[in-house]
Amino acid sequence: SVPLLQAARKKNSLNLLELTEAELEEQFVRGDGPGGQATNKTNNCVVLKHVPSGIVVKCHQTRSLEKNRKIAREILQEKVDLFYKGEDSDVFKEKKASEKQKQEKRRKAKENLERKKLFKEMQQLDKK
């Protein structure tokens, strides 16, 4: 179920499982990455664990602790929903739909490129 969990973080999901605070373990740690002193000396990275499923989320998207807490809860809620519902999850269905759109877009672009190549070849043959 690891590939399923990678589908999380889609904003339009409405029908997600609810999380209770009793099921969560929250830690604040120092973030990593670029940002210098603002990152290295503040504990604004949130590590959130859903105890029943064992899913852990680490969020350090902003410098604000409160925003990171909110974002971590959203991501965790989506991952827990995927964990329990699997392919029936709205998050999974949205991910599949977006992948299908991307494939269709790629296919159309490839067809268009082929048409352009043929057109150029025809122009060169006409010149000769």
Label each residue of 91-113 as H, E or C.
HHHHHHHHHHHHHHHHHHHHHHH
94 and 64 co-located in one domain: no
76 and 45 co-located in one domain: yes
Does residue 1 have a pLDDT over 50?
no
31 and 80 co-located in one domain: yes
pLDDT digits (tens, 9 = 90+) for 30-87: 887 777 777 778 888 999 999 999 999 999 988 889 999 999 999 998 888 888 888 8
Q: How many whole angstroms separate alpha carbon 62 and alpha carbon 11?
A: 17
78 and 107 co-located in one domain: no
Report the pLDDT value the prediction gives residue 8, as an integer from 0 to 100.
52
Q: How many whole angstroms separate alpha carbon 51 and alpha carbon 49?
A: 6
Q: Which of 1-5, 53-57, 116-120 has the lowest mean pLDDT?
A: 1-5
Does residue 6 have a pLDDT over 70?
no
38 and 72 co-located in one domain: yes
Cβ distance 9 to 75 under 8 Å?
Answer: yes
Positions of E strands within 1-128: 24-29, 45-50, 55-59
Report the pLDDT value the prediction gives residue 11, as an integer from 0 to 100.
52
- Tell if the pTM clears 0.85, that is, is over it: no
Domain encompassing residue 50: 21-85
Task: Kindly state whether residue 53 falls inside one of the protein's structural domains.
Answer: yes
Return the residue matching tokens 């339009």. 12
94 and 76 co-located in one domain: no
Total count of domains within the chain: 2
Report the pLDDT value the prediction gives residue 2, as an integer from 0 to 100.
41
Locate 104 and state its tokens: 């269709």
Task: Kindly state whether residue 7 falls inside one of the protein's structural domains.
Answer: no
